[in-house]
Structures are given as C-alpha cells and as structure tokens.
C-alpha cells in the first residue's frame, strides 16, 4: 500500500497537472499538517543559533518539473517561484494552495525551445514589480503594474545574452546577474550562442551594462553581504564547484575574488551543485549545493546543512523574514529559522 507521503504527493502532482491545464486551483494542502522530510546536520554550535533544534523541513507544495527562483511578496503575502521547464511562474499562498501566476514566464516564441525555456531567478524591484531572469527570451524583464513586460537588458555590446540565471539588487538600484547558457536548447554548444563566455554583470540604474567578470565557467546564484561590500557568486561546474566572494568597489565594480568554499569533492556523492543563495542579517550565507542548503558563517565556516535529499536550486526569505523557503527539485519546502533575512 502507498505511504501517506507518497499518496499525498501523488494527489499534489495530479492537482498541478490539472492546474496547468485550466489555471484554477484544484487542490489545497492541509496547511496545519504539512509532510516533512530531509535531515538537519549540525557541524558547529553557532548553527543552533540559526536553526532551532526542533526545526522541521516542511513540504508545502509538490509536482513541479524544476522549482527555482523563489521570492516573497509582502503584500498581501505570497510566494512566487519559477517552474523552469513548464515556462511558468507559480504562486503559493498559505491556506489557498498553488496557482499559475504567469504563463509564459521566459519564452514567448513559437514552437519548442528546449528543456528549460522559462524564467529562472526572480526578484522585486523598488516598486514591487516582478523582475525575471528569462531563459528562452534571453533577457532580464520587469512585469509592469500597468500590464505587460518591459525588457531591462538582453545583450552585451550588441551580442545577445546566453540565458540569465539569477539576479539581486544593490540598495542603490543596480541589478547584478549571472549569465550561463543553461537555458539554451543546446546549452554550451548551442549555435544560437553569441557570447563565448559566461559573465557576471552589473546593470546600472542609468541603463548601462558592465561585465564584472568572465572567469567563472558556470556562474549561477548571486547575493550580497548585508553591508554590500562582498558579492557572492556560485559556480555550478562539477569540475570546480565553488562559491566565490568578490570585494565590491565604490563604483560598483568588483575586485579580485577568492574562493569562499569548495564542494567539488561532494559532486556526485549528493544531488545538486552550487546554485541559488540568500544571506541573513548577520551575514550568514544560506546556499544551495550538493545535498541541500549549506549554511556558512561570514568567515566561510560551514556551520550546518539542511539536507533535502534532492537537487536543491535556490532559497528565499519569506513571511516576517525568518521563514526560509527552499526549492528542492519537484518540491517547494520551508523551514522556520531563528535568524532573519531581508525581504525584497
């Protein structure tokens, strides 16, 4: 006989299939009794100050092809995230369930466009508008409140971007983002590729685009330290699975980076690679990597790991800033923390 968890997730998957067809909510998970899974590994006493000893990793939604790019919208309070292969942005609300919020999300052309055509990383601008890293349309866009999308940037020196992956705002309004070719149907060898490198960029509020570095083979997740003096960038290359830390200069450019942490030896032993990440108010880094979410001190000490058992793509602070939402392959999860992160 199927277990309670497998039966529940089967119901959720069927509901989301129906949802994708008619865009109406067909299933609401019992929000007082979410299933839990995973393990919490504690490597340093400082981890107990961040994750309570009785904390549980809850599955709040399931049935997605590949969940990514979560962002919390404070008013009225809901979570948005990408289902990249489905080419849709999903919306989850406590007590209401999961809806399709935006379809299409990253590819508006005709016909098939590979396995990952949709949006990836999401954030909000200072006006609360949704900003998307779009794989298929190879751009960063903003969904205006008056209707319709506006392209923010789609090329570097006249050559089309690969497929923007993740982004974050600096407090002055500059938008920093990564651009690997994961969204191209042929990936690194796609004939449509116009740039022969994978860049990390700064799109300034004045509309200028600056290449910060092209030294990383597969730049992915990106985040600032609380004081914005350090820019963290994940490199999801199996041959060099690392997180880099770059000093941020006064003009917004970055200096020579250093390896913040290296998990190359864990590739293949656990599912996943360095991907999306967020930072709490004390500068601790919560970063998706092989085997779940790694939690580092600002000095680069591994404090603990939230093991999801899945390839985990990204995470985001939500609610009052102490709830961490985690994208773990087909699952959307959350865990209550004792720390707090900045909401967009």
Residue 112: CB partners within 8 Å, gap ≥ 6?
Answer: 185
Unique residue bearing structure tokens 């008056």: 146
* pLDDT of the residue at 77: 96
* pLDDT of the residue at 31: 61
Q: What is the mean pLDDT of residues 187-213?
A: 97
**109-164: pLDDT as tens digits:** 999 999 999 999 999 999 999 999 999 999 999 999 888 999 999 999 999 999 99
**308-323: pLDDT as tens digits:** 999 999 999 999 999 9
DSSP bridge pairs for 81:
90
Predicted confidence (pLDDT) at residue 9 exceeds the cutoff of 50: no
Cis peptide bond upstream of 104, omega within 30: yes
* pLDDT of the residue at 33: 77
| pTM confidence score | 0.92
* pLDDT of the residue at 147: 80
Q: What is the mean pLDDT of residues 94-109?
A: 95
Predicted confidence (pLDDT) at residue 50 exceeds the cutoff of 90: yes
Residue 119: CB partners within 8 Å, gap ≥ 6?
Answer: 68, 69, 82, 84, 87, 89, 102, 105, 106, 132, 133, 134, 135
Among the residue ranges 3-17, 38-52, 204-218, the one predicted with the least confidence is 3-17
Unique residue bearing structure tokens 């092209």: 214
**13-33: pLDDT as tens digits:** 444 444 434 344 334 455 667
Dihedral of the CA atoms 197, 198, 200, 203 (nearest 10)? Answer: 80
Question: What does the buried/exposed string (b/e) look like for 268-290 if buried means 16 or more CB atoms within 10 Å of the residue's CB?
Answer: eebbbbbbbbbbbeeebbbbbbb
Q: Are 2 and 81 in contact (CB under 8 A)?
A: no
What whole-number distance in Å separates Cα of residue 210 and Cα of residue 253?
8
* pLDDT of the residue at 32: 65
* pLDDT of the residue at 185: 97
Q: What is the mean pLDDT of residues 294-305?
A: 98
Q: What is the mean pLDDT of residues 85-107?
A: 95
Predicted confidence (pLDDT) at residue 236 exceeds the cutoff of 60: yes
What share of the chain in percent tops pLDDT 90?
88
The residue with greater pLDDT, 102 or 5, is 102
> Would you place residue 176 in the very low, low, confident or very high pLDDT band (cuts 50, 70, 90)?
very high
* CA 34 distance to own-chain centroid: 22
Unique residue bearing structure tokens 């997730």: 9
Predicted confidence (pLDDT) at residue 284 exceeds the cutoff of 70: yes
Boundaries of every domain in the chain: 4-336
Give the up-direction half-sphere exposure of residue 138: CA atoms within 13 A in the CB hemisphere. Answer: 19
- DSSP string for 80-148: EEEETTTTEEEEEETTTEEEEEESSSS--SSS---S--SEEEEEE-TTS-EEEEETTTTEEEEE-TTSS
Beta-carbon count within 10 A of 190 CB:
15
Class of the CATH-defined domain 4-336 = mainly beta
Closest CA to 273 of 232, 317, 240, 224: 240
Instruction: Tell me what the pLDDT averaged over the chain comes to.
Output: 92
Closest CA to 243 of 271, 218, 209: 218
What share of the chain in percent tops pLDDT 70?
91
* pLDDT of the residue at 29: 55
Q: What is the mean pLDDT of residues 221-237?
A: 98
What whole-number distance in Å separates Cα of residue 88 and Cα of residue 99?
10
């Amino acid at each position: 006989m199927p277990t309670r968890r497998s039966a529940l997730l089967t119901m959720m998957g069927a509901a989301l299939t129906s949802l994708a067809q008619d865009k109406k909510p067909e299933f609401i998970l019992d929000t007082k009794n979410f299933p839990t899974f995973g393990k919490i590994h504690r490597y340093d006493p400082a981890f107990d100050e961040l994750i309570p000893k009785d904390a549980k990793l809850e599955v709040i939604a399931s049935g997605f092809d590949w969940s990514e790019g979560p962002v919390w919208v404070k008013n009225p309070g809901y979570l948005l995230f990408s289902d990249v292969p489905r080419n849709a942005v999903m919306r989850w609300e406590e007590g209401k369930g999961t809806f399709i919020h935006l379809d299409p999300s990253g590819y508006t052309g005709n016909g098939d466009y590979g396995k990952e055509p949709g949006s990836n990383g999401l954030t909000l601008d200072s006006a609360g508008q949704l900003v998307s890293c779009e794989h298929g349309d190879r751009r960063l866009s903003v969904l205006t409140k008056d209707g319709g999308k506006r392209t923010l940037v789609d090329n570097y020196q006249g050559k089309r971007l690969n497929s923007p992956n993740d982004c974050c705002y600096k407090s002055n309004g500059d938008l920093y983002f990564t651009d690997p070719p994961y969204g191209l149907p042929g990936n690194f060898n796609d004939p449509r590729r116009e740039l022969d490198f994978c860049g990390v960029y700064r799109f300034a509020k004045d509309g200028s685009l600056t290449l910060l570095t092209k030294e990383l083979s597969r730049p992915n997740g990106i985040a600032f330290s609380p004081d914005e003096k350090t820019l963290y960038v994940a490199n999801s290359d199996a041959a060099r699975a690392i997180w880099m830390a770059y000093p941020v200069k006064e003009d917004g450019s970055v200096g020579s980076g250093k390896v913040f942490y290296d998990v190359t030896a864990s590739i293949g032993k656990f599912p996943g690679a360095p991907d999306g990440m967020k930072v709490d108010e004390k500068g601790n880094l919560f970063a998706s990597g092989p085997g779940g979410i790694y939690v580092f001190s600002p000095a680069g000490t591994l404090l603990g790991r939230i093991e999801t058992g899945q390839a985990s793509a990204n995470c985001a602070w939500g609610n009052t800033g102490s709830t961490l939402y985690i994208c773990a392959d087909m699952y959307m999860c959350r865990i209550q923390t004792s720390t707090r992160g900045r909401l967009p």
